[in-house]
A = this chain, B = another copy of it.
Amino acid sequence: VESRPERDRTRLFYAEGMRFVARALDSPRHRIETALYAPGLHDHPFALRLLDALRARGVPVLNVSPAAYRRLSLVDEPQGIAVVVRQRWERLHRVAPEAGLCWLVLDTVRAPGNLGTVIRTLDAVGAAGVILLGGAVDPYAPQVVRATMGAVFAQRFVRATEAEFARWRARHGVTLVGTSPHAAEDYHAFRYPAPLALWMGGERAGLSEAQQGACDAVVRIPMAGHSDSLNLATATSVLLYEVFNQRRAV
């Protein structure tokens, strides 16, 4: 499940480390297919308790050598415990638009770290999940999963075409808000209605003119100085916290 074609074929993904294994065990919606354990690599007491919980759940535990585990691992200090989990995908027409704070819409995100960080922030603000337009973005890539710090188990993922998404929006009266550095509307002055979907463009080009035209509103995150852009995960997080702050009473 390390390569995209392999992940797409098997519909599995890989998550390593005690924090991730605990989140996988806690998630009622995820099916753990296999666990990997490297005896002698770290042997943390919490890892041993997680192994017990995995075995009690009937999950096969595969022992591997520390060397083999290190080759699989993405981190500098591997904890020697990992799980292979079934991917969860939901159908757009069965998804309630008013779930959570909002939905996030993405079609092109290049950096796995950006996507993982975005998923982590979505979880922090209580968003519903991500609607992925087209097939370019894979939330189950190992580096993405890693950067979510476990939030991959708490957010929902939907894949849809632009046409399917347009129909779903129209049927449910979902307000779609995009962002652009050139938009007139200030993101902090705009009042975000519910149900809400936020559409973030890719790192390089942002949302195209046509994509902006499809939105109900396009907002701008203002910048001072010479800056002409924010990191994608930063911009998404700043926007999500604005919506979160508007909806809660402070």
Which residues of chain A have a CB within 8 Å of any CB of chain B? 23, 26, 101, 113, 117, 120-121, 123-126, 147, 149-151, 154, 186, 188-189, 221-227, 229-231, 233-234, 237-238, 241, 244-245, 248, 250
Name the B residues within 8 Å of A189 (CB-CB).
250
The answer to whether B224 and A244 touch across the interface, beta carbons within 8 angstroms, is yes
Query: Copies of this chain, how many?
Result: 2
For A241, the closest partner residue in chain B by CB is B238
| 5 A-B pairs with C-beta separation under 8 A | A26-B226, A117-B234, A123-B224, A125-B223, A231-B237
CB distance from A162 to the nearest CB of B (A): 28
Contact of A237 among B26, B226, B238 (CB under 8 A): B238
Name the B residues within 8 Å of A117 (CB-CB).
231, 233-234
Name the B residues within 8 Å of A150 (CB-CB).
226
